[in-house]
Amino acid sequence: MFNEIPTDRPVTPLLDSIDSPTDLKYLSEDELCRLSHELRHFLLYTVGQTGGHFGAGLGVVELTIAIHHVFDTSVDRLVWDVGHQTYPHKILTGRREKMLTLRQPDGLAPFPSRSESSYDVFGTGHSSTSISAALGLELAAKSSGDSAKSIVVIGDGAMTAGMAFEALNHVAACHADVLIILNDNAMSISENVGGLANYFARNISASDFSRNPVSGSAVEPGGIFTDLGFDYSGPIDGHDIQTLTATLTSLKQRSGPRLLHVLTTKGKGYGPAESSPVASHALTKLEKQGQSSESTYSNVFGRWICERASQDPRLVAITPAMKEGSDLIEFSKRFPNRFHDVAIAEQHAVTLAAGLAVGGAKPVVAIYSTFLQRAYDQLIHDVAIQDLDVLFAVDRASLLEDGPTHSGVFDLTFARAIPNIVVMTPADQKTMEAMLNLGFDHEGPSMVRYPRGAAITLPFESSDVELGKSASIRQGRDVAMLAFGSLLSDAARVADQNDYTLIDMRFVKPIDVNAIIDAAAKHSLLVTLEENVIAGGAGSAVAEILAAEGISTNLLILGIPDRFIAQDSPAAMKASAGLSPDKISRAIQNRLSALS
């Protein structure tokens, strides 16, 4: 058991001899056990240096070793769900010496990446995609006569998503030769909730490790899976190398839909993580720990929703397994009967909110931008078409160091295309609180999108927010900068240095048409800024207004270009997208030079 994150690279002679999974084939069970200890020690060291997810990885060390020991993963197709648990996999598949580049520019991705390694069969980042992907791979292989094995590792938290059960249903219908390993640690990021989590817990209490784990009989613990058509085995101890290798060897000889239920401990082997798996889901770099006590935008939301709920008994909060990240912990304690963590089920979260709204409640859906993408149809079909009173608090609407899978930079584009919805972009803490109040009071769907990170208070911003109205920050010459949300503070620096006009647009929908027309009449160049993709975003909305009004003026749209921004620090990612203050200034100067 480790109780501290090592600051020096540990001595790992056996691990250092593993350059590919082939090297695992020759190890004895005792050596596999020793390797698990060294791998766990090395994982703690590297994540301490780089930051990243590590609780899930610590929990699957033995499982990862056993899979690569039993199967020929240079040929067999191993698909991991989400990717939080794949750091041990990366270490064992030729990337050990690159682990210190994790989440760094041109370094290792924090999730499986097909461009990074042939052992990363399918790229993941969001949950519950693995079974569908593996089935697709298996069906394609079958049609070409490929006899390699297909293996999936999916967590019990990811199994709560409807997509996973849709895939289970299809695997059984196809009688596909797929082995699904259910990594059951009773956790996603938060503790798992709901009927499925309770079902797994009952299975665990009913199980007896002394039984033959691969008897093949329809034992009671796997009733739901055997009823679906799976050959169920387990539950077994996911930290027992001998049991794992024996079970996997047996299952390797079988065919058809198989499901192995493995019990693991999130954070296994690291004392603080085992005792607090939620807090230890991910780790910041050691040198950054404890340095910041700044209030984040998530904290602003957490305080606001508690205050507003104390004033209005109709308020109900919903989150898809993001209680901690969205800062709903205090709300869940104070208002337990008005709090719904629906697990990893974004589509359900949105339609649940729609039903609550029809029933007279005032639901607030706290969701990350990247996860709202997963419920787009429900946003349109169940909320917007019916014009229901649902407020979406869209967190992490910004570039994130985890890279393209988690950066929230599409929501302005996909939301503003939907009729009836109000889309707001606060630039600081004051305007965010005002917009949350406005959205909650608004009759109809509304969305407040805010970035990850420390909440700022801009001295020139006012908390007086009126629906569809912008705010003039300063008057200048030649150029009018129209800023939407998080880039306002950077835009202010550029505007002050160059004597440009600056307008906080605040609303993408309804957009302030009069402010746009007035700015076009008084300036030779309009510049829009947004931390969202350029395609179809706020700048596009401005262009549409100018076209509709028949106004011919010069327009420069600055935002995320038409490419995925690679992992880096958020500041560096913004610079890569051309959204740092110096690059914004240079882009404007270049356009002015071209016009002169």
Q: What are the residue numbers of the active site?
A: 266, 346, 374
Q: What is the CA 436 to chain-centroid distance, rounded?
A: 23
Are the beta carbons of 411 and 397 closer than 8 angstroms? yes
Q: Which two tokens stand for residue 379?
A: 């946003």
Q: How far apart are CA 87 and CA 43, in angstroms?
A: 7
Are the beta carbons of 423 and 416 closer than 8 angstroms? yes
Q: How far apart are CA 104 and CA 399, in angstroms?
A: 14
Q: How far apart are CA 370 and CA 365, in angstroms?
A: 14
Q: How far apart are CA 155 and CA 158, in angstroms?
A: 5
Q: Which residue, among 379, 319, 208, 182, has the nearest Cα to 263 in the 3D structure? A: 182
Q: Are strands 525-533 and 422-424 parallel, antiparallel or unpaired?
A: unpaired
- For 121, 129, 133, 154, the CA distances from 79, given in Å and listed in that order, are 6, 9, 8, 9
- What is residue 186's DSSP assignment? S
Q: Which residues contact 559 (CB under 8 A, 6 or more apart)?
A: 528, 529, 530, 531, 532, 533, 534, 537, 538, 539, 577, 579
Specify burial of residue 368 (Cβ count, 10 A radius: 0-12, 13-18, 19+).
buried
- For 17, 410, 574, the CA distances from 407, given in Å and listed in that order, are 36, 9, 11
Q: Which residue, among 137, 145, 132, 155, has the nearest Cα to 63 in the 3D structure? A: 155
Q: How far apart are CA 287 and CA 342, in angstroms?
A: 35
Are the beta carbons of 43 and 87 closer than 8 angstroms? yes
